[in-house]
Amino acid sequence: DVALRHVHTILIKERHYTWTDSRPEAGIEKKRVQQETRVNAKEKGKEGRERTILDYLNELSKLQSIKVKSYGNSYEDRKLTLLEISTGGAETRPVIFIDGGIHGQEWISVAQVLYIIYSLAELQGNQQMIEAVDWVLVPVVNPDGYEYTQKTVSVFVLIINFIESLKLSFYTILKDRMWRKTRSKGTKCIGVDANQNFPYHWHSSGSNQDECKDTYSGPAPLSEPETKFLSEVLNSYKNRLNLYISFHSPAQAILYPWGSIPEMPKNMQALHHLAVLIEKTIAAMQGTAYKIGSSYNVLGPLAGSSRDWVFGYLNVKYSYIIELPSGGRKKFDLPPDKILSVVQETLLVDEDEVLRSAKTIMASGLLPAGSGDVKLSVTLVSSVDGDDGEVIGDRIVVLAVMHVSDDEKADLSIVAILDYLNELSKLEWINVKTYGNSYEKRNLTLVEIFSGDEDDEDERPVIFVDGGMHGQEWISVAQVLYIIHCLSEEEKNKYMAENVVWVLVPVVNPDGYEFTQNNDRLWRKTRSKGRNCIGVDINQNFPHHWQGSGSSKDECSDNYSGPVPLSELESRYLSEALESYKGRMALYLSFHSPALSILYPWGYTPELPPHVYQLHEVVLMVQSSIEAVRGTIYKMGTSYSVLGPLAGCSRDWVYGFLKVRLSFMVDLPSGGSKKIDLPPDKISEVVEEMFVGVREFHAYVLHSVKASEDRLPLTSKVAWICWYASVVICRFIFQIY
């Protein structure tokens, strides 16, 4: 069995229920299934697929353990239908509630719920799953929107040709395959997003008050009959409801609360643990990897969702949105064979009978088959005061990035960066060091920044920051250079170097970075020569679960993890530099782009790290400070949950091997046609607002250090008490002997 069996088992264990064999020997002949579920849109006319679904459910209601109920009517007066599967228990058993079709366009979600119904009702192999739990399933929450996406309309199109005579063409077109909302009439436009219409943080982050938008949350909470009646039926199971799953598409993610805020729910670890079990069983079937995490941190803000309302208002411990995969031209049109694999791997068993019947139920009818280059350049505007060449304040300005037209010659940016750093080294609180050489013999350079008493330099906590690990990610280099500029040249930031030592590496991969300037703008890897292709992805070359999930053994792939861990000079020397600060490193930040996210471990597994609450607390503080500047919202969470699997990265190695508790990868925003070509004004916004976040990181480190120092007197007292007690014990023993 796969994912749903894990869900079922956990719920049974929590409630300490025992299984009883009470399911009747009942089934529906395959021939009847084939006849009743085959859809012909032309024959069904207006009623279409929604009518076919009701026919199928009504046929199932003939089984002893199944009840089909109408729990209300939609705006267009269609029946809102649920199916209960119960083998007894006198309404005392825990309930699993599943729905789909909240958004009209998401046909795969309807298919998924129907497939679960079929498997629970008709496959004897799933008998144990209905013996201690009652199931309530709603295949189509929004039948009006769902039906609207399936209707066809015949129209006459007038084609006026000024040379030829008037021609008349006849077309049959789909009304609106991408329709999402309900079909209620507003003052200007039609419909409300049913999944933003629930009374939990309604009309807050991620919502839209424009009724013509797809994400319009409605004139009031529960304004739609579809949401009002669904909330009532959910509320009727309140005391027994243990698990709620709402199927959607196409983000391929398992999402728990919250959607309205970046904070984590109180029982996050239980929610995440169950999500990981589901994801692992899905991945075991065909290798499909689902993202895992809170909705806000994986997909961005979503307020007023059914999942958050069930979790927050009904206090249901396990509440999820499961986003099924995308497919087809519009992401919502999966071909029949893909539909089958999705619904099967998500929640069911892999039996031959399932394969044959599912093709009939799902694939056969319910779903049809459906300007010049940007050059990075560091421009130096410097002045010196007196003969000693001392650099004055802001007179060295890092512009970091500028547009250069085709006929202009760009600065050699690596040379310019090194010139800038060497100029800064004239300041007494700055050390510029070479910590190794790249494959193409370029210097690997770091900057140490500290001020105040030099005697305690070796005792101060270290904040280590790097960028430019991937050649194409110019904005990450600009970010580290901007941090160096702010710390070294702006008086208002000098305090940030008084209690800590900053170690900053602007360009981890100078060969790849330089190659993007003159040859291939999208080059990502190092420039070392392999047997067939050039380069290794440095951020998958560290010896922590190296060549695990998300890695590639193909040396021609952009995410090739290398022949061995630390095969690259760039990763080896960086690991040595990092390890030299091992006992003192308090924070590690590695800048990348363009995913707009702040990510903590792990990347190789969906499991949560040991210090997840502390890590997320830090990220929340940083994200809030950045958002306060211009409203930019960074996603947050584990790397695996937000971006998918990534093994052998520097962040996980620093956290797992060097035991640095605060270890993060910060993906800066995208921009431009290639997602990595931000215009100059956008670059300045990004690096400036991120420095506000860096200040917050620094403040947290200082707070942690101070908290440790405040605990020292107590530690000393305990040590003294232990010493005194040992003396007393020794005297007592001496007297005995």
Give catalytic residues, as residue numbers. Answer: 323
Helix, coil or strand: residue 373: coil
Q: Cis peptide before 107, with omega less than 30 degrees from 0?
A: no
Distances (CA, A) of 46 to 50, 155, 184, 375: 9, 16, 18, 57
Residue 104 and residue 151 in contact, taking contact as beta carbons nearer than 8 Å = no
Q: Which amino acid is at 522?
A: L
Residue 647 and residue 604 in contact, taking contact as beta carbons nearer than 8 Å = yes
Residue 609 and residue 655 in contact, taking contact as beta carbons nearer than 8 Å = yes
Residue 640 and residue 602 in contact, taking contact as beta carbons nearer than 8 Å = yes
Please, where are the H alpha helices in 160-314?
225-236, 268-286, 295-299, 306-312
* Gap between the Cα atoms of 555 and 456, Å rounded: 46
Q: From the CB of residue 407, how many other CB atoms can be counted at a distance below 10 Å? A: 6
* Gap between the Cα atoms of 614 and 608, Å rounded: 12
User: Which residue, among 370, 377, 297, has the nearest Cα to 340 in the 3D structure?
Assistant: 370
Distances (CA, A) of 218 to 204, 205, 214: 12, 14, 11
Residue 578 and residue 454 in contact, taking contact as beta carbons nearer than 8 Å = no
106 Cβ neighbours under 8 A, 6+ residues apart: 100, 247, 248, 249, 250, 324, 332
User: For residue 258, with 0-12 CB atoms within 10 Å meaning exposed, 13-18 middle and 19 or more buried, which class applies?
Assistant: buried
Q: Are strands 501-505 and 462-466 parallel, antiparallel or unpaired?
A: parallel
Residue with token string 């792939």 = 557
Residue 38 and residue 194 in contact, taking contact as beta carbons nearer than 8 Å = no
* Gap between the Cα atoms of 635 and 628, Å rounded: 15
For residues 115, 120, 125, 128, the Cα torsion angle rounded to the nearest 10 degrees is 150
Residue 507 and residue 417 in contact, taking contact as beta carbons nearer than 8 Å = yes
Helix, coil or strand: residue 57: helix
Residue 56 and residue 39 in contact, taking contact as beta carbons nearer than 8 Å = no
Distances (CA, A) of 203 to 219, 525, 698: 9, 44, 34
662 Cβ neighbours under 8 A, 6+ residues apart: 586, 587, 588, 614, 615, 618, 697, 700, 701
DSSP 599-620: EES-SS-SSPPTTHHHHHHHHH
Cα angle value 295/301/302 (rounded, 5°): 75
Cα angle value 562/566/567 (rounded, 5°): 50
Q: Cis peptide before 24, with omega less than 30 degrees from 0?
A: no
Helical pair 680-710 and 712-736, crossing angle rounded to 10 deg:
30
User: Which residue, among 64, 61, 56, has the nearest Cα to 34 in the 3D structure?
Assistant: 56
Residue 549 and residue 638 in contact, taking contact as beta carbons nearer than 8 Å = no
Q: Which amino acid is at 5?
A: R
Residue 35 and residue 364 in contact, taking contact as beta carbons nearer than 8 Å = no
